[in-house]
Structure 1
Amino acid sequence: MLTGLTIAVIGGDARQLEVIRKMTELDSKLFLVGFDQLDHGFTGATKGKIDEISFNEVDAIILPVPGTTIDGHVDSVFSNEEIVLTEEMINKTPEHCTIYSGISNSYLDGIVQKANRKLVQLFERDDVAIYNSIPTVEGTIMMVIQHTDFTIHSSEVAVLGLGRVGMSVARTFSSLGANVKVGARKTAHLARIAEMGLKPFHLENIEKEISASDIVINTIPHLILTAKVISTLPSHSLIVDLASKPGGTDFRYAEKRGIKALLAPGLPGIVAPKTAGKILANVLSQLLVSDLTNGRKGSSS
């Protein structure tokens, strides 16, 4: 239980509703910022503006999956209010206060470090990333079906990267009957791809290896599908880039070549926000119970 803990949930999308619901069930005191257009309320939760938060009483701050923008703004689909999280606000929090975000950037890292607070990036955790790969794969299948005029079965699919998402994508498309090859750099990853019954290739040979691909799915968060690589693809190819913005694709050149290239980060929050929200809520509740309860005990001793 989180009885006695004060948590500020600042901004977000439909995924945050599951987080709020879970925090309410666990008896925490909630202050919600960026939810003024939300129709229903939550018992024990108070809606307000960010400058109305008593930060000196806040044990935890929960930010949306994208965290903040590079200038400190926090987006919310449930409000038109301008929400900015500042270093001054973080400085007012108790020393044990922990900030939770899906991902981070230089701005968020900076204000948290200067305040000497703890920042937890949920999407760096294996459990969150692996659970999230499930709705990500389903969303990828949906996008491929919507944007092609051929079946996944028997199509030539190239998956770039064998991280937690890449592995799930490759396995699922193979189970749907696609001919899947997977590009990676580490020898251990190449061995794992072969063990999975898929065709491995080293990314040094990407131009040759994907030149016959009907579908290319990228999970690598840096430019891998360059103009030179894209120039080798058939004109009917579809690129689905699952990497975080700005992705790993030269979208300008893809458009010039007439190849459809879709940047699709954050698919769990789009195709299955309820499931994605429950994943975050369950992990957050475990972390809050262990980290913050222990932290408060430590600060009071």
Structure 2
Amino acid sequence: MLTGVHIVFLGGDARQIEVIRKCSEMDATVSVVGFDKLNERVLGVSWERLSSELLSAADVLVLPVVGCDDTGAIQTPYSGESLKLLDEHLAALPSHCTVYTGMAKPYLRSLCASHEVRLLELLDRDDVAIFNSIPTAEGALVMAIQNTPFTIHGSDCIVLGLGRTGFTMAKSLQGLGAKVRAGVRSEKDFARAEVMGWEPFLTRDLEDHVRSVDLIFNTIPTMIVTAQILSRMPQSAVIIDLASAPGGCDFRYAEKRGIKALLAPGLPGIVAPKTAGMIIANALVQLISDEIKIRGDGE
């Protein structure tokens, strides 16, 4: 239980609503900012405006999965007002307060560091990232089905990168009967792909493997599907880029060649916000509970 813990939420999408609901159910004192247009009210939650006074009473500050941008602006799809996280807000936080977000950009990291506020990025956790890879893969499959005239079964698919998302993506394609090739950068991943029954190759040799490809699913957040690679691909191929923006594909040249290339970050929050929200909620509650226990043991 989170009895006695004051958690302040600033903005967020449909995923954040599930996190708010979970924290309220765990008996935390929950204040939310940036949800004034939300149709469904969550019981036991107070609806506030952003102020230093509110933050001065926070034990935990929760930002959206995408944190804030490099000016401090916070996404508020459920509000008509804009939110901006400023230096004065971090200065108001109690010394014991922890800031949680999905991923932090330099602005937020710098702000927290300058005020010696603990910052935790939930998407860095293996459990969150692995669970999140499931709705990501499902969303990518939906995009593939919607943008191709053929079945996944029997199609020639390349997955670039065998991290947490890439592994789940390759496994999902294999389950649907696709021919799966995996572009990897290490001998360890080469061996893993081979053991899984996928055809591995080193990413430096990508141009030798794209001449007959139907679908490419990229998870590598650096420019890898270059103009040179695109020039060797069939025009009928479709690229679904799952890497963080700006992705790893030359989208300008892809359009010039008539190859459909789609950047698809944040799929869990789009295709399965309830599931994605519960993944984050469970991790957050566990982390806060662990912190409470550590504090109690230290007293």
TM-score by length of 1: 0.96
AA in 1 matched with 2:155: S
**What is residue 151 of structure 1 aligned with on the other side?**
151
Per the TM alignment, residue 51 of structure 1 is displaced from its structure 2 partner at its CA by 2.0
**What is residue 23 of structure 1 aligned with on the other side?**
23
Measure the CA separation in 2 of the matches of 1:48 and 1:203.
50
AA in 2 matched with 1:57: A
SS in 2 for 1:7: strand
CA-to-partner distance for each residue in 1:108-163, whole Å, 9 max, x for gaps? 10000011111111111100011011111111110000000011111110000000
SS in 2 for 1:54: helix
Q: Does 1:34 align with 2:34?
A: yes
Measure the CA separation in 2 of the matches of 1:137 and 1:82.
32
SS in 2 for 1:50: coil
Runs of 4+ in 1 over 6 A off after TM superposition: none
Q: Is the 8 A contact 2:9 2:61 kept in 1?
A: yes
**What is residue 132 of structure 1 aligned with on the other side?**
132
SS in 1 for 2:261: strand
Per the TM alignment, residue 96 of structure 1 is displaced from its structure 2 partner at its CA by 1.2
Q: Is the 8 A contact 2:52 2:88 kept in 1?
A: no
Per the TM alignment, residue 42 of structure 1 is displaced from its structure 2 partner at its CA by 2.3
**What is residue 268 of structure 1 aligned with on the other side?**
268
CA-to-partner distance for each residue in 1:150-187, whole Å, 9 max, x for gaps? 11111110000000000000011011111110001111
Measure the CA separation in 2 of the matches of 1:144 and 1:44.
41
The number of aligned residues is 299
Measure the CA separation in 2 of the matches of 1:79 and 1:159.
38
Change beyond 3 A, Cα 1:296–1:82: farther
Matches within 5 A, 1:93-242: 93-242=93-242
Per the TM alignment, residue 40 of structure 1 is displaced from its structure 2 partner at its CA by 2.5
SS in 1 for 2:51: helix
Per the TM alignment, residue 39 of structure 1 is displaced from its structure 2 partner at its CA by 1.9
Per the TM alignment, residue 196 of structure 1 is displaced from its structure 2 partner at its CA by 0.4
Per the TM alignment, residue 41 of structure 1 is displaced from its structure 2 partner at its CA by 2.1
Change beyond 3 A, Cα 1:296–1:117: farther
Aligned-pair RMSD on alpha carbons?
Answer: 1.3
Q: Is the 8 A contact 1:156 1:213 kept in 2?
A: yes
Identity of aligned residues (%): 47
AA in 2 matched with 1:277: G
Per the TM alignment, residue 80 of structure 1 is displaced from its structure 2 partner at its CA by 1.8
Q: Is the 8 A contact 1:31 1:53 kept in 2?
A: no
Matches within 5 A, 1:29-68: 29-51=29-51, 53-68=53-68
TM-score by length of 2: 0.97
Q: Is the 8 A contact 1:11 1:35 kept in 2?
A: yes
Measure the CA separation in 2 of the matches of 1:81 and 1:99.
22
